[in-house]
Amino acid sequence: MEYYDIKVIVLLKKNMKFTDSSEIIGKNISSAMLKSEYLMKYHKEKNYKYVFGNFTPVEKDGIYKEGRLYIFELRTFDEKFLNHINKCLKDYESDTIKVITLNIKTVKQRKIKFIRTINPAIVTTEDNKPWIKKDDLLLLVRRIHENAAKKYKRFFNMDIGETEDYFIEKLKILNRKPMSYKYKGIHLLGNKYLIKVNEDEKSQKLAFVTLGAGLAEKNSILGAGYCEADWR
């Protein structure tokens, strides 16, 4: 198993609040996809696609600055998508960003000890409401596991099969209050997690899927659930 990581260096063309940046990055990726007929169709598919991180370095005052260079990373398991989006992002420019350079690397699966969400992950319950701390913790773990299993099937065209347990051995919520994303004039709530991953083969596969495709929901729209790993 492996995923592709595109490091995108951009020049910011206007000041931008941290709370707005995820939606703006997502919109720019979607806009770049319009340059490819294949990606235009791909974008319309209701399926798991990719995940992206927020701008780095993070500004202490929460305002990304006009005229400065920032980096965001875009990850995918789909090589065809990678090839098309790489061409579309080269020399891409909008009213908010100008792409300066791209760097692609391949990340191969290896043992994962912990996963930490960099961007808050969005998890909804069966009634389509956001999971919050007063809700059942086991429900949270199950929803994250099921989402990862669906992504595994999407990208590798096979079921993960029955598992003895969820891929999550332990889970810690890192924020005191829910964190929000701005999206189409509303706020979507999410949380940051530190997850200890079980050591069995299937758990490790599902954990790796969350790195390449994002943890939980809204990964390719807002970059929600973008993670980093503590490799063993």
- What is the model's pTM? 0.94
What does the pLDDT read at residue 51?
A: 98
φ/ψ (deg, to 5) at 34: -70, -15
Degrees to nearest 5, angle at CA 86 with 54 and 112: 55
What does the pLDDT read at residue 163?
A: 87
- Are residues 87 and 140 part of one domain? no
Cα–Cα distance, 45 to 28 (Å, whole number) = 18
Q: Which of 108, 127, 149 corresponds to the end of one domain?
A: 108
Instruction: Give the closest residue to 145 by CA, choosing from 166, 129, 160.
Output: 166
- Are residues 71 and 10 part of one domain? yes
φ/ψ (deg, to 5) at 180: -120, 150
User: For 21-25, what is the mean pLDDT?
Assistant: 95
Bridge partners of residue 104, in order along the sequence: 6
What does the pLDDT read at residue 81?
A: 95
**DSSP, residue by residue, 143-210:** HHHHHHHHHHHHHHSS-----SS-SEEEEEE--SS-EEEEETTEEEEEB-EEEEEP-SHHHHHHHHHH
User: For 98-113, what is the mean pLDDT?
Assistant: 97
Q: How many domains does the chain have?
A: 2
Cα–Cα distance, 216 to 147 (Å, whole number) = 6
Q: What is the mean pLDDT of the chain?
A: 94
User: For 179-202, what is the mean pLDDT?
Assistant: 92
Is 97 a residue whose pLDDT tops 80?
yes
β-pair type (193-197, 186-190): unpaired
Is 134 a residue whose pLDDT tops 90?
no
- Are residues 84 and 12 part of one domain? yes
- Are residues 116 and 104 part of one domain? no
| Residue with the two structure tokens 């760097």 | 103
Is the four-CA dihedral 16, 18, 19, 25 of positive or negative sign?
positive
- Are residues 182 and 92 part of one domain? no
- Are residues 172 and 140 part of one domain? yes
What does the pLDDT read at residue 126?
A: 81
Cα–Cα distance, 85 to 192 (Å, whole number) = 28
Instruction: Quote the tokens at residue 5.
Output: 């990581």
- Are residues 219 and 138 part of one domain? yes
- Are residues 40 and 93 part of one domain? yes
Q: Which of 68, 84, 108 corresponds to the end of one domain?
A: 108
Per-residue model confidence as pLDDT tens digits over 139-182: 999 999 999 999 999 999 999 988 889 999 999 999 999 998 88
Per-residue model confidence as pLDDT tens digits over 33-92: 999 999 999 988 888 999 999 999 999 999 999 999 999 999 999 999 999 999 999 999
Is 232 a residue whose pLDDT tops 80?
no
Helix (H) or strand (E) holding 231: strand 227-231
- Are residues 61 and 6 part of one domain? yes
Helix (H) or strand (E) holding 104: strand 97-108
- Are residues 203 and 122 part of one domain? yes
Question: Which CATH number goes with the domain that contains 197?
Answer: 3.30.70.1900
Q: Which of 57, 87, 108 corresponds to the end of one domain?
A: 108
- Are residues 130 and 74 part of one domain? no
- Are residues 198 and 149 part of one domain? yes
Q: Domain of 6?
A: 2-108
Question: Which CATH number goes with the domain that contains 97?
Answer: 3.30.70.1890
Bridge partners of residue 51, in order along the sequence: 75
